[in-house]
Structure 1
Amino acid sequence: IVISGVYTILGLLFAEVNLTASSFALINLSGWPQWAQLLVFFIILDFVQWFTHVLLHKYPFLWKFHKVHHSVKEMGFAAHLRYHWMENILYKPLKTFGVMLIGGFEPEQAYIVHFITITIGHLNHANIKISWGPLKYIFNNPVMHLYHHAYTLPEGKYGVNYGISLSLWDYIFKTNYIPEDSGTVEIGFKGDDKFPQDFIGQNLYGFGKDK
């Protein structure tokens, strides 16, 4: 609903000045086959999401909001949809405009890729032991994402395994970390025992000083 609303509002605003998503494209892929456009869209969007995810962990004021997602103490597909509402304000515009500037894709393509990535995200948050064998170097997986949520991170790291659907960005930029694949690792973050457990408390978290 949020995604649909954002694109609807943008579409109405752009229509007033005779603009479409393609008007912002640096590269015009309209002549490409539909499957190729969707593949490029998927790859570009995944990189933009990976980069944004890194920012959410790197900068303390963004990490405050992202903590809501990392406050889960047990993995499960529902954890994928547990996040602070501020992430939509910080996350979605960068993804939306980033992809528009790079590829000039239309909303219909965004819907298809969005639902594919949501499905993959549910799977990667599931409490199951799957790593995809040799394909783990391309595709994200539940074991890899489990270590993203790990309570104890490698020394000097503010996060690891930022991949959304694809893991290749983590291997390319050396942010990958899978010491073993037992699937038994404590998740959370330091001080999560004092993190708000109620709906209102979590949605207001990040606007005040840390206690």
Structure 2
Amino acid sequence: MRHLFRYLYAPCFSLGLIGLAVWLVGYLHATLWLLPLLLVVAIGLSWLAESWLPYAVEWNQPRQDRRRDTLHALINESLNALGVLSIPLVAALLPIGTLWPHAWPLWLQVLAAIVVADLGITLVHWLSHRSALLWRLHAVHHSVRRMYGLNGLMKHPLHQALEALAGTAPLILLGMPVDIAALLAFAVAIQLLLQHSNVDMRIGFLRHLMAWAPVHRFHHLKYGTAGDVNFALFFSVWDRLLGTAFHHPHYRIASDDLGIGSQPDYPDEYLAQLAEPFRDTAGHQAPPPLPVGLQRSVEQMHTQMP
């Protein structure tokens, strides 16, 4: 049973929950306010799966971070909801186009929105590891010292706003309807839960397509630029194009591999994390060296980057 669960969890969690949301909103015409409730259910299912089959048992133990991560999730998802609700106002103020493919099936409209948004979000994410200013905001997300579903929703609100703007601005200008925007926001939240999941999942060849936890964990390595890999939110193809795709099937990531190597004392409290990007950074130090098990693979990958 556990062996089968390892292989079925990721596709069933992703396609099942996003598909359920599309069916409820698009075909049963349920209110969009059902989506936050469905997200709460998804968080509960993620927690149950992590408890039953964890990738790292110690990652299920809070490190004085549960309240903080809950605050990040509540505030960031509330901001997402406000962003969706503001679309009619934006449409009234800007010259919104009429190119949106309303005649397409709803599921195909959602998929198209995901692909476009994924590209914009991925590029901002990639730039955030190359711009010192953007990194200050993005570092909040990289300060985690354990990986589990809920901390996928842990971001500085300003950085989340930049990603959301890059991902949704083209869609809004094309005339994206509010229901598609709401389903897109829900799909992003589900993907973030799955991408940071502590479930000991197996995804096999799907790692070449989907940026799920076994791929994304390497992005959170604390060893300097070793984590400058696997930037994609949904689809690994963007990392193939950027030359940043990386996977080491035999390296098992532990708590000691996570965090920000140059800032081991990064603050843990919510308000302190909001303020940290605007503080002096003179206290940075050299990151720790790569473990022997990773060194050759990471160095080879970086020499092949464009």
Instruction: Normalising by structure 2, report the TM-score.
Output: 0.61
Give, in whole Å, the separation in 2 of the partners of 1:137 and 1:153: 25
Partner SS state of residue 24, structure 1: coil
Q: Is there any run of 5+ residues in structure 1 with no aligned partner, and where?
A: none
- Residue in structure 1 matched with residue 120 of structure 2 by the alignment: 48
Residue 180 (str. 1) matches residue 249 (str. 2): yes
Residue 164 (str. 1) matches residue 233 (str. 2): yes
Aligned pair count reads: 203
Contact 1:131–1:144 (CA under 8 A) maintained in structure 2: no
Give, in whole Å, the separation in 2 of the partners of 1:112 and 1:89: 18
- Residue in structure 2 matched with residue 121 of structure 1 by the alignment: 192
Q: 2:151 aligns with which of 76, 79, 85?
A: 79
- The CA RMSD measured in Å over matched residues stands at 2.2
Partner SS state of residue 192, structure 1: coil
Instruction: Give, in angstroms, the shift of residue 29 of structure 1.
Output: 1.5
Q: Is there any run of 5+ residues in structure 2 with no aligned partner, and where?
A: 1-77, 283-306
From the two aligned structures, give the one with the greater helix fraction.
Answer: 2
Residue 9 (str. 1) matches residue 9 (str. 2): no
Higher radius of gyration, 1 or 2: 2
- Residue in structure 1 matched with residue 130 of structure 2 by the alignment: 58
Give, in whole Å, the separation in 2 of the partners of 1:179 and 1:24: 44
- Residue in structure 1 matched with residue 97 of structure 2 by the alignment: 24
Contact 1:147–1:160 (CA under 8 A) maintained in structure 2: yes
Instruction: Normalising by structure 1, report the TM-score.
Output: 0.85
Partner SS state of residue 86, structure 2: helix
Q: What percent identity do the matched residue pairs reach?
A: 23
Give, in whole Å, the separation in 2 of the partners of 1:193 and 1:153: 12
Partner SS state of residue 58, structure 1: coil
* 1:10-59 per-position Cα deviation (integer Å, ceiling 9, x unaligned): 423533x5x68xx335x441232222212211111111111111122111
- Residue in structure 2 matched with residue 90 of structure 1 by the alignment: 162
Contact 1:57–1:158 (CA under 8 A) maintained in structure 2: no
Give, in whole Å, the separation in 2 of the partners of 1:184 and 1:88: 26
Give, in whole Å, the separation in 2 of the partners of 1:13 and 1:42: 20
Contact 2:117–2:166 (CA under 8 A) maintained in structure 1: no
Give, in whole Å, the separation in 2 of the partners of 1:198 and 1:35: 39
